[in-house]
Amino acid sequence: MTITALDHIAMVVSDLDVAEAGYSRLLGRTPNWRGTMHGASHVWFQLGNTALDVIAPTGEGPVGDGIRARIAEHGEGLWALSFSTPDLAAERRRLERLGIPTYERAEVSTNPDTGATRSWNTAAMRTKSTHGANLILVENRPHATPWPEAEAGDAAVTGLDHVVVNTPDPERAAALYGARLGLDMKLDRSNPDWGTRLMFFRVGDLVVEVAHDLKTGVSDGPDSLWGLSWRVADVAAAQARLKATGSDVSEVRTGRKPGTAVFTVKDAPGGVPTLVIGPQA
């Protein structure tokens, strides 16, 4: 497999300050990068197994204009999944052979206070071949210095457990994430009680969960990035921490996965459906 991890999740919001405060509270961490790029500003939260990039339009430029258009049409929320590969050129050639053309994108972010920059070698997959989902490749060479984790407080989120993609056509999605992208399918199960067919694709130590609503049937509509499930070491402590800050959270309950406990965050920034999961006490 030449896709080795989920490098980061990108989210678009209208008010970056509000979203930064909200995710600092939710994750129990402060962002470890702030930058601007082509009409947009963003904050970056680096976690143990992926990162969250929260972006808002703040000026004139192609990135800011694209985010404004996206928010106007679809609202705030998840925007893109960026997958890590050790050799961008080789992975682009492989995907091209499998019917997924890509185009290079220059990603350079400048810290407005210090002038320091971060850059990424990336290639975006054509959304026509990804059924509407915004999927990106990011090159991470095997011996490159990893970006340090954002500073964490007590009962902080340690990483991402899974990201949820909704699809109207599960067979089409299985072919994309399994056969073409090469992610490792670990589960394919329909549960009439939930009214859902779920497929789990492992990448690194987290899961891309593809969900299909059995009641709606199959159609050729677009896939959509939907929700996030964050991982913690102590579910009760994380729930208590968030509750103490005034966050709207559910009570802790038994998770669907054996041996887990979960709670729902009802006021996650950007309106993203959000779950927190960890081992059952």
Residue 145 domain flag: no
DSSP letter for each residue of 144-207: SPPPPPPPB-TT---EEEEEEEE-S-HHHHHIIIIIIT--EEEEEEEETTTTEEEEEEEETTEE
Same domain, 23 and 107: yes
Closest CA to 257 of 212, 211, 200, 204: 200
DSSP letter for each residue of 45-110: EE-SS-EEEEEEE-SSSHHHHHHHHHHHHH-SEEEEEEEEES-HHHHHHHHHHTT--EEEEEEEEE
Closest CA to 29 of 136, 158, 130: 158
Residue 154 domain flag: no
Residue 39 domain flag: yes
- The residue type at 20: E
Beta strand 260-265 with 253-254: parallel, antiparallel or unpaired? antiparallel
pLDDT at 101: 98
CATH number of the domain that 221 lies in? 3.10.180.10
Closest CA to 20 of 36, 31, 11: 31
- Assigned token pair, 234: 């102590």
Q: Please say whether the dihedral angle defined by the alpha carbons of residues 94, 96, 102 and 103, taken in this order, is positive or negative.
A: positive
Q: Is 19 helix (H, G, I), strand (E, B) or coil?
A: helix
Residue 35 domain flag: yes
Residue 102 domain flag: yes
Q: What is the DSSP-derived secondary structure letter of residue 236?
A: H
Same domain, 10 and 134: yes
Same domain, 190 and 132: no
Closest CA to 3 of 94, 86, 101, 122: 86
Q: Is 239 helix (H, G, I), strand (E, B) or coil?
A: helix
Same domain, 246 and 124: no
Residue 144 domain flag: no
Same domain, 87 and 169: no
pLDDT at 1: 58
- Assigned token pair, 264: 């729902």
Please report which helix (H) or strand (E) contains residue 25, including its range.
Answer: helix 16-27
Same domain, 85 and 172: no
Quote the domain boundaries for residue 237: 159-279
Residue 150 domain flag: no
Last residue of a domain, one of 108, 139, 170: 139
Q: Could you read off the pLDDT tens digit of each residue along the chain, which spans 281 residues?
A: 599 999 999 999 999 999 999 999 999 999 999 999 999 999 999 999 999 999 999 999 999 999 999 999 999 999 999 999 999 999 999 999 999 999 998 789 999 999 999 999 999 999 999 999 999 999 998 877 788 898 898 999 999 999 999 999 999 999 999 999 999 999 999 988 889 999 999 999 999 999 999 999 999 999 999 999 999 999 999 999 999 999 999 999 999 889 999 999 999 999 999 999 999 98
- The residue type at 115: G
**Cα separation of 204 and 146, whole Å?**
15
Residues 47, 157 contacting (CB under 8 angstroms): yes
If one counts the domains in the chain, the total is 2
Beta strand 117-125 with 196-203: parallel, antiparallel or unpaired? unpaired
Q: Is 234 helix (H, G, I), strand (E, B) or coil?
A: coil
How many CB atoms are closer than 10 A to CB 212?
25
Same domain, 117 and 19: yes
